[in-house]
Chains A and B, each alone.
Chain A
Amino acid sequence: MSRITETSWMIGGPQGSGVDSSATLFARAMAVAGFWVYGKREYHSNIKGKHSYFQIRASHDVVRSHIDPIHMLATFEDSTAVIHAHEIMPEGALIYDPGLTKPEVLEMDASVKLFPLDYEGIIRELAEEEGKPAAKLAIVKNTISVAASLALYGVGVDVLEEALKGLFHGKKSKLVGINLKAGIKAYEAIKAIAHAQDFKYQMQEQPNKPDAESRLLMNGAAACGIGKLKAGMRFQTYYSITPAVDECIYLEQHSEYGIVVYQAEDEIASINMANGAAVTGARVATATSGPGFCLKAEGIGWAGMNEVPTVIFNYMRGGPSTGLPTRSEQGDLLFAVNIGHGDFPKIVLSPGDMEECFEDGFNCFNFAERYQTPVIVLVDKALANSTQSIKKFADQGLRVDRGKRVTKVDSYDPADPSTGLPKFPRFQITEDGISPRPIPGTPGGIHFLTGDEHTEYGFITEEPAIRMQMMEKRARKLVTAANEIPEHLQFKMYGPENADLTIIGWGSTKGAVLDALDRFKEQGKSVNYLHIRLMSPFPVDAITRILNKAKQRLIIESNFTNQLAKLIRQETGIDIEHKAVKYTGRPFSQCEILEAVKEVQEKQSRKVVLINGH
């Protein structure tokens, strides 16, 4: 029997029933077994009851996205099979509770193999052995689903044990034993089903297991948080909003770093508190999502006007208004690059994978302090909430840049206190647009900040000549930034240099596109990918050059109006001729990238709309 080297697995259930922890356990187990893992989480804006699911892809090679068909669907109640059974590929597996699910009524391929699992029986048996009431053990259903899946894939019970130990550590470690017992019973139950050993999609053992110490099973929200910790951020403000809270909760759990995570009374307070802390000299950020980002506009403008290094993370969910609170969209790009009234420089970054989340989480503070202007980081919900096994972050030798921060003024003489009093030209006109920035507490650094137009010392003025000088000075900073920010942090090309088709994209779609590039290579198709990370200042010259050289161009985005295409056209004058969009709130799968390319290459489609995913 031939085994496979890559699989797509799904578990679902009502929210609050442990779908997330089951998926985490499965992902961990597959990672322990040496596979590379990618997982995507879909859930409703609801606490208990509504359908949620988690899809996990495991492979011998690095995986960065999901595919639509699944090899195995694990269920422990009836709704998941009804919703997802049709996605099981021919000869795939359905694990189900025969007391709840009747396979004959499901819409699915006739060749799907059935694996009934007597959840109640297993739990009853366990309850008797342990001398505990069965109702108290109901939660081990999740482990039973995962163990049965592992058994079918041919992954050993030792792997389950190690994964359980990883999941339940510290105070929770007492849960390992009972879950392992439940798991062993599930292994036995699967073994007792005769056709289990003929299951077509058993996983081939990973021949070159990566070193466990060098790998992390990471999610995007935590990757951003870890980058921020490395950057020295010890103060973050937020107001509770999905999905930005995930990063905040993660950071608050790490008080050993001395980090203050402040839950403000509202979004407006959180941006303005961050401004106050940034003025005072802290590396500080605020995290939010769409609706909250709208409320922060005025505060971001104040930071722009006063040249304050405030960092704003906007986790992008489906808009407009409350929109799709728990789903993903790349719908805030044009708002972010234009946020606030009037003209002021802002730096806008958008990471595309876990490593870029870490990098941008680190670099945003260097940029904010060097260019003394707000930095906005746009993170797709799809990236924040996805799980991926990655190599450990390259966190050694990273340089901290605090720019023209001043903590000592030479003219101050401690013996004569009055030398600490004179005012300081905080907004001095300079060639690069960046002025020295004394931190409050510094004698001799006294200056004034105001959202009004102001002089070099920060005094309010309405003089036309000074107004012009100040507008021009602030704008120059963005030119300086465009010249200085290293190219690999602005954009990156992947794939062959001269390709027949160039895909353009940003944010989380990077994973699906890179996975698709691997497939194109196997198929002998010549396709490359331009991934754009720096949205403001936009890398005009380089992008113009690349796009002019491209033979055929396809832009892929998770929004309705092709916001990046619009930005590119605004900045370069180039209208990208083929567009693929998805606005269901669900991320692109690898399959959908292949489909979009096929549509473009075979039918010359101008606009492809993708719809996959429940």
Chain B
Amino acid sequence: MATKQQTEQTFPTLGVKLKPFQLRSDKNPDWCPGCGDFGIVNAIQQAVSELQLQPWKVEFFAGIGCSGKSAQYLQAYGIHTLHGRVLPYALGAKIANPNNVVIATGGDGDGYGIGAGHFIHAGRRNVDITYIVFDNEVYGLTKGQASPTLEVGMQPKSLALPHISQAINPLALAIASGYTFVARSYAFDAKHLKQTIMDAINHRGVSLVDVHQPCPTYNDLHPKEYYTETVNSGQSELPRLQYLEETGYNGFVEDATDLEAYQAKKIAAIAEAYKLTDRVVLGTYWKVSLPTYADRLETNIPLLREYAPMDVPFHDDNMIANTDLSSACEEFVV
């Protein structure tokens, strides 16, 4: 079981670092100029390149909406799914074949709105996938309605009236739901985003990267300038973006078996996610090493230590089904 304690992944690597352009499909993105989606997909391509993943081992799932199209732009098995359902697809794929690297993407409306049920339950399972949410507070592709991350009282130009529902806090919700890696990044902070995505892919277990991004067409409250302008702290002007390391906060759990410390740390992480600030704080809020769904499956079903579920042998070389049914039929023999 020693390997089960390991925090990080080991993938078979390509042996060479592909140029990011080699990881672009020959379909051109049709997002609006200035859209944060460009930055995020670019960072994903950089991360896959940097990690030297074999692109054909990558299953790249996306939901529906502007972000959903990203599945068409990475040179990997790209699967554009249904609105809100990207996580079930990704989980099904990873459980069937744990040897592939599974990355799921989707918008804030997709993941925290129509897909909210799946979002919560994905945390409970801890299937080893990476979920990257393109968070711009609006439903872009249907022309700018409020998403679940839009704060109450806000009125981007696309809304007829001020927003009167409260926003959810995706980081806190993820931590409470059982995600084992929870981070926030920003679409145009290329370096931080690439590194965060790499950390998320390397993490064994389910990881969430909530990526703030501007929607230049519908969200005039948080344009690109919002992220680059400074914030007046009372004494001095500070950059809008802040990194968690700078604050002295550390959300890494060293030993998850120390339950008391673990619980305290979890509460602290949620508190950190709720901290009131004018700045946008990027970084990994929560990281813990727990047995993955596959680890737990192996405990229940020893045969899965040897085979992926989709690779359990069931026929001979002549394609004749050769599963022995005697134990399945035992209770019925009379």
Contacts and interface: CB of A to CB of B under 8 A. Distances in A.
Interface of A: 28, 31-32, 166, 169, 212-213, 215-218, 222, 225-226, 229-232, 234-235, 237, 254-260, 262, 264-266, 268-270, 272-284, 298-299, 302, 362, 389, 392-393, 395, 397-402, 417-418, 420-421, 423, 440-452, 458-460
B280 to A, nearest CB: 31
Give the residue among A166, A262, A393 with the most B Cβ atoms within 10 A: A262
Contacts of B79: 276, 279, 448-450
Nearest to A283: B310
Contact of A451 (B81, B88, B301, B323): B81
Given A230-B321, A258-B312, A298-B82, A392 B329 contact: yes
B271 interface: no
A441 B57 contact: yes
Nearest to B76: A446
A264 B303 CA distance: 22
Contact of B75 (A265, A277, A397, A446): A446
Given A277-B96, A444-B56, A232 B321 contact: yes
A400 B315 CA distance: 7
A259 B301 contact: yes
Interface in B307-334: 307, 309-310, 312, 314-315, 319-321, 323, 325, 327-329, 331-334
A32 B334 contact: yes
Contacts of A400: 314-315, 319-321
Nearest to B99: A441
A232 B69 CA distance: 34
A393 B334 contact: no
Give the residue among B18, B22, B97 with the most A Cβ atoms within 10 A: B97
Nearest to A34: B334
B309 to A, nearest CB: 5
23 contacts: A215-B334, A229-B323, A230-B323, A255-B303, A257-B328, A264-B88, A268-B85, A269-B121, A270-B88, A272-B81, A272-B82, A272-B85, A273-B91, A279-B59, A279-B93, A280-B59, A281-B96, A400-B321, A420-B55, A420-B56, A443-B56, A450-B80, A460-B27
Contact of A299 (B77, B82, B315, B334): B82
A389 B327 CA distance: 18
Interface string B47-70: 000000011110101001000010
B97 A441 contact: yes
Contacts of A441: 56-57, 97, 99-100
A331 to B, nearest CB: 27
A280 B93 contact: yes
Contacts of B96: 235, 276-277, 280-282, 284
Contacts of A225: 328
B233 interface: no
A316 B82 CA distance: 26
A212 B333 contact: yes
A40 B329 CA distance: 20
A263 to B, nearest CB: 10
B328 A448 contact: no
A287 to B, nearest CB: 15
Contact of A448 (B14, B78, B100, B327): B78
B22 A421 contact: yes
A255 B305 CA distance: 13
B90 interface: yes
Contacts of A255: 300-301, 303
A280 B308 CA distance: 11
A246 B291 CA distance: 29
Contact of B321 (A169, A231, A423, A449): A231
Given A235-B96, A299-B82, 13 more contacts: A31-B334, A166-B333, A213-B333, A217-B334, A231-B314, A254-B328, A272-B82, A272-B92, A276-B79, A276-B90, A282-B97, A393-B325, A448-B77
Give the residue among B75, B93, B121 with the most A Cβ atoms within 10 A: B93
Contacts of A222: 332
A207 to B, nearest CB: 18
A280 B69 CA distance: 20
Contacts of B93: 276-277, 279-280, 440
Contacts of B78: 447-449, 458
Interface residues of B, number: 66
A235 B56 contact: no
Contacts of B245: none
B89 A235 contact: no
A275 B89 CA distance: 6
A417 B22 CA distance: 11
Contacts of B300: 255
B75 A229 contact: no
Nearest to A226: B328
B16 A262 contact: no
Contact of A399 (B100, B319, B333): B319
Given A400-B320, A449-B79, A258 B89 contact: no
B22 A399 contact: no
Contacts of B307: 258
What 5 A-B pairs are tightest by C-beta distance, nearest first?
A: A276-B92, A232-B314, A273-B92, A258-B303, A276-B89
A145 B61 CA distance: 58
Contacts of B301: 255, 258-260
B14 to A, nearest CB: 5
A11 to B, nearest CB: 18
A447 B26 CA distance: 11
A215 B72 CA distance: 54
Contacts of B100: 280, 440-441
Nearest to A426: B77
B44 to A, nearest CB: 15
Given A269-B117, A276-B90, A398 B321 contact: yes
A260 B304 contact: yes
A218 B321 contact: no
A548 to B, nearest CB: 38
Contacts of B331: 169
B80 to A, nearest CB: 4
A417 B15 contact: yes
B310 A281 contact: yes
Given A273-B92, A442-B56, A282 B309 contact: yes
Nearest to B87: A269
B197 interface: no
Contacts of A273: 88-89, 91-92, 95
Contacts of B242: none
Contacts of A298: 82
A225 to B, nearest CB: 8
A492 B267 CA distance: 65
Contacts of B328: 225-226, 229, 254, 257
Nearest to B314: A232
Contacts of B312: 232, 234, 257-259
B49 to A, nearest CB: 12
